[in-house]
Structure 1
Amino acid sequence: MPPALALYQPDIAKNAGTLARAAACLAVPLHIIEPAGFPVGDAGFRRAGMDYLDRAAIRRHSSFAAFESWRRSEGRRLVLCTTRGSQPYTGFAFAAGDLLLLGRESAGVPDAVHGAADARIVIPLAPGARSLNVALAGAMILGEALRQVGAWPAAPAG
Structure 2
Amino acid sequence: MLHLVLFQPEIPQNTGNIARTAAALGWPLHLIRPLGFRLSDPRLKRAGLDYWPHVDLRLHDTWEAFWQSLPPGARVWAFSARGDTCLYGVSFQPGDYLLFGPETRGLPPEVLTLFPGVYIPMPGPVRSLNLAVAVGVAAYEAYRQLRVAL
**TM score, norm. by length of structure 2:** 0.94
**4+ residue runs over 3 A deviation:** none
**Aligned residue for 1:136?**
133
**Aligned residue for 1:25?**
24
**Aligned residue for 1:123?**
120
**2-structure distance, mates of 1:50, 1:99:** 24
Q: Deviations over 1:73-96 (max 9, x none)?
A: 343111011100111101111111
Q: CA deviation at 1:127?
A: 4.2
Q: CA deviation at 1:52?
A: 0.4
**1-structure distance, mates of 2:124, 2:136:** 22
**1-structure distance, mates of 2:24, 2:53:** 11
**Aligned residue for 2:45?**
46
**2-structure distance, mates of 1:110, 1:64:** 11
**Aligned residue for 2:34?**
35
CA RMSD, Structure 1 to Structure 2 (Å): 1.2
**Aligned residue for 1:156?**
none
**1-structure distance, mates of 2:87, 2:130:** 16
- Fraction of identical pairs, as percent: 38
Q: What does 1:1-158 align with in structure 2 at a 5 Å threshold?
A: 2-71=1-70, 73-117=71-115, 119-150=116-147
**Aligned residue for 1:154?**
none
Q: Give aligned pairs, total.
A: 148
Q: CA deviation at 1:41?
A: 1.7
Q: CA deviation at 1:150?
A: 2.1
* Structure 2: gaps of 5 or more residues: none
**2-structure distance, mates of 1:112, 1:100:** 17
**2-structure distance, mates of 1:11, 1:101:** 15
